[in-house]
Amino acid sequence: MRSDRLGETLLPKKLALPIFASDALSSVAYAPDEILIMLGLAGGAFAAMHSWQITLGVIFVMVIVVASYRQNVHAYPSGGGDYEVATENLGPKAGLTVASALLVDYVLTVAVSISSGVQNARAALPFISGHEVVIAVGLIVLLMAMNLRGVRESGKAFAIPVYAFMFGIIGMGVWGFIKGLTGTLGQAPSAGLELVAEPGHDAVGLAAMFLLLRAFSSGCAALTGVEAISNGVPAFKKPKSANAAATLLLMGVISVTMLASIIALSRMTGVQMADSSAVGEVLLRDGVPVGDTYVQDTVIGQLAKTVFSDFPIGLYFVTAVTGIILVLAANTAFNGFPVLGSILAKDGFLPRQLQSRGDRLAFSNGIAILAAAAIFLVIAYNADVTQLIQLYIVGVFVSFSMSQTGMIRHWNRLLKEETDPKARSKMFRARIINAVGAAMSITVLLVVLVTKFQAGAKYAILAMAVLYVMMLAINRHYRHVSQELALRDDLREAILPSRVHALVLVSKLHKPAMRAIAYARATRPSVLEALTVEVDPEETAALGREWIARDVPVTLKIVASPYREITRPIIDYVKSLRTDNPRDVVIVYVPEYVVGHWWEQLLHNQSALRLRVRLHFIPGVMVASVPWQLRSSEGQSDDWDDRSVPGRAGNIAP
C-alpha cells in the first residue's frame, strides 16, 4: 500500500463492520460453551439455574465496554489504539504493559479461534474427531503461509462470511424460537444425559460463588476484539468518529443478540456441556458414564443439530460459517501482530528493523513468530478451548483497564483547558462513562485473576512480564546508544583525516583482484599497497612472479603467518599502520564474490566476512568490499524489480 494512496480506501460502515468485528463476533462461538462448562462443574442443574445470570452479567459488561470505547473513538479520530491511549495518558510504562498484554493476546486469539473452529467443524465432519491438534496446526501453518505470501483478503471477501455467520446464528435463533413457540422444537442430543458434579465442586456457599465468578470470567471471552474498531477509526468514511461509534454500537447489539439467543436456545433444548477432561465420567446415560468414546459437540453444533434436525443444509451452513469466521478471526491477529510490532519498533521497544512497514521481511518475522507461538500453545493444550481460555482474558482486560483509565486522564487534561460549557458538559459525561468503564474493567480483571490464576492465567502473566522486561531492555539499549552517538557542539567527528592509506587484499591474481586494484587506484589514495598473507611459501612465490610478469603498478606487501592464519596477520598489520600514523584513515579493499545460490555463499567469502568483523573493531579503519559478480548471480537482483516505482528526489545543498 503506497503511503499516499492510503486515503483512497476509506470504508463505509457496511464494510467496516465485518472487517473490524470478525474477532469480536466470532467469540460467541466459544463464550457460551465456556459459561455452561464452568457452571456444569457443579452439575447440570446448577448450570441450568445460573446460566442466565452469568449471561446477563457478561452482557452488562459488554454494554459498558462498548459505551466506553465509543468515547475513545470520539476522542481519538486518528485511531487511538489501547497502546497509544495508555502511552499518551499514563506514560510509556503503561503503554508497554498494554503492548505486552496485546502481543500475548494475539497469540491466544490464534490458538483459541483455530481450536474452536476445529471443534465446531467436528459437528458436521465427524472424522475430525481425534485429529483436532493436527488439523489446528495445519490451519495455522496455512494462515502463516498465506500471510507470508502477502495474500490479503479484500474487504468484500471478508464481508460475505461475516454476514453469513450473523445470518446463520440469528437465523438459527429465529427458527428455533418459532419452533419453540409452535412446540416443534426437539431436545438437544445431550439433553437426555445427566450431568453430575465433578468431585470437589459443591454447589453451595463460597465454592458456588467462586464457580459463578469463574463462569463469568470465561464468559467474558465474548468481549475480546471489541477494541478493534477503536484502532481503525482512520479507515472509516467521514464523519470518521461518528461512523466508527455507530459501527461499534451495531457490533455490540449484534454480539449481545447472538450471545443471548444461543444461551436461550441452549436452555430450551436442554444442552449439557461437560469439561472436556471429564466428559466420559460426569455425563451419565441411564446412570452409567458415557465413557471416552462420547464426542461432545460445541453448543452451536448441538443447537444446529437440534434446530435443523429436519433441514441438514442448515446444520452444514451454520457449522461451516462458524468455522470460517473463527479462521478469519485468527487471521486478524496475523495482520495486527506485525503492525503492533512495527509501532513498538518505531518507539524503540523492539528491534528497529521491524519498523519498516513496507519491508516484507520484517513482517515475515512477526508472522512466523506468531504462528510458532500459537502452534506451541495448541500442541501444549491439545487444542482444548476450555484450557486455552484460562490464559486468554487477562490480556484483554489489562488492555481495557489501562485504556479506560487513560481516558479519564485524557478528559481531565482537556477539561483544564476547555471553557465552552457545552463542550465541558459533553466531556464530563464522557469522563463518567470512561470512569465506569475503567472501574468495571478493573473489577473484571481482578475477578479473572482470582479465578483463573492457578488454572493457567499465570503463564499468560509470565509471558507478558518476560515481554515487558525484554522490551524495556531493548529500549534502554537504544537510548544509551542514542546518547552515546549524539553530536556535541565541537564536532570532533567532522575533523578530516590527514591521509588515506589504502590496502587491497590479494590472494591470487585473478579478475576480482585486478578489479579491486583498479578501483582502489581510481580513488587516488595517499598510499596504496596490495597485501597478501604468506600461508604457503610456494604459492606466495608464484604470486610474486606473476605480479612482476603482469607488471601490476602497485606494491605487493607480503606478511608472514607463522600459525597459518589469514585474518590475524592482516589485523596486526593494519593495527601497526594505525599506530604509526594515527591521523591517517585506513581503507581495506576486499575483493568479494557475488553468487546466485545460498549454498555457493557457503563456499565463498567466509574469510572476508570474518575479516570484516575483526577489522571493524579497530577505530579509523574502513572496509570496502569490491564485488565480483559471478555468472550464477546474474538476474538475481531483478527478481526484485516487479514493484519498481520511480521516486521523487530532492537536495539540501551545503
Site for its own copies in 438-477 (CB under 8 A): 474, 477
Listed residue (112, 114, 109) closest to 134, CA to CA? 114
Q: How far is the CB of 237 from its own copies (least distance, A)?
A: 24
Q: What is the DSSP string of 412-429?
A: HHHHHH---HHHHHHHHH
**From 206-214, 311-319, 418-426, 492-500, span contacting its own copies (CB under 8 A):** 492-500
How many Å apart are CA 394 and CA 391, to the nearest integer?
7
Contacts of 166 (CB under 8 A, 6+ apart): 25, 254, 258
Listed residue (162, 214, 237) closest to 8, CA to CA? 237
Cβ-based nearer residue to its own copies, 162 or 594: 594
How many Å apart are CA 87 and CA 567, to the nearest integer?
49
In DSSP terms, which residues pair with 531 in a beta bridge?
A: 505, 557
Helix (H, G, I), strand (E, B) or coil at 203: coil
Task: Show the 3-state SS of 347-372.
Answer: CCCCCHHHCCCCCHHHHHHHHHHHHH
The yes or no reply on residue 567 touching its own copies (CB under 8 A) is yes
Cβ-based nearer residue to its own copies, 281 or 600: 600
The yes or no reply on residue 88 touching its own copies (CB under 8 A) is no
Cβ-based nearer residue to its own copies, 302 or 342: 342
The yes or no reply on residue 538 touching its own copies (CB under 8 A) is no
The yes or no reply on residue 563 touching its own copies (CB under 8 A) is yes
Q: How far is the CB of 372 from its own copies (least distance, A)?
A: 17
Rg (CA), the chain: 33
Q: Which of residues 599-618 bind its own copies (CB under 8 A)?
A: 600, 602-604, 606-607, 610, 612, 614-618
CA distances from 644 to 292, 638, 640, 648, 650 (A): 60, 10, 8, 13, 19
Q: Residue-wise over 564-590: b if at least 16 C-beta within 10 A, else e?
A: eebbebbbebbeebbeebeebbbbbbb
How many Å apart are CA 279 and CA 169, to the nearest integer?
26
Angle of helix 240-269 relative to helix 13-26, nearest 10 degrees? Answer: 40
The yes or no reply on residue 347 touching its own copies (CB under 8 A) is no
Q: Which of residues 211-270 bind its own copies (CB under 8 A)?
A: none
The yes or no reply on residue 630 touching its own copies (CB under 8 A) is yes
Compute the Cα dihedral for 545, 547, 550, 555 and give only its sign: negative
Q: How far is the CB of 468 from its own copies (least distance, A)?
A: 17
The yes or no reply on residue 340 touching its own copies (CB under 8 A) is no
Q: How far is the CB of 365 from its own copies (least distance, A)?
A: 10
The yes or no reply on residue 542 touching its own copies (CB under 8 A) is no
Contacts of 171 (CB under 8 A, 6+ apart): 314
Cβ-based nearer residue to its own copies, 215 or 517: 517
Q: How far is the CB of 509 from its own copies (least distance, A)?
A: 6
**From 56-64, 156-164, 203-211, 498-506, span contacting its own copies (CB under 8 A):** 498-506
The yes or no reply on residue 74 touching its own copies (CB under 8 A) is no
The yes or no reply on residue 373 touching its own copies (CB under 8 A) is no
Listed residue (258, 245, 243) closest to 325, CA to CA? 258
The yes or no reply on residue 625 touching its own copies (CB under 8 A) is yes
Select the residue interacting with its own copies from 524, 538, 598, 642 (CB under 8 A). Answer: 524
The yes or no reply on residue 511 touching its own copies (CB under 8 A) is yes
Around Cβ 422, how many Cβ atoms within 10 Å?
Answer: 8
Select the residue interacting with its own copies from 490, 493, 580, 642 (CB under 8 A). Answer: 493
How many Å apart are CA 98 and CA 395, to the nearest integer?
8
Cβ-based nearer residue to its own copies, 459 or 593: 593
**From 225-233, 262-270, 378-386, 633-641, span contacting its own copies (CB under 8 A):** 633-641
The yes or no reply on residue 631 touching its own copies (CB under 8 A) is yes
Binding mask 284-313 for its own copies (x = CB under 8 A): ------------------------------
**From 70-78, 187-195, 396-404, 515-523, span contacting its own copies (CB under 8 A):** 515-523
**From 166-174, 428-436, 459-467, 624-632, span contacting its own copies (CB under 8 A):** 624-632
CA distances from 262 to 182, 196, 254, 307, 581 (A): 19, 23, 12, 11, 83
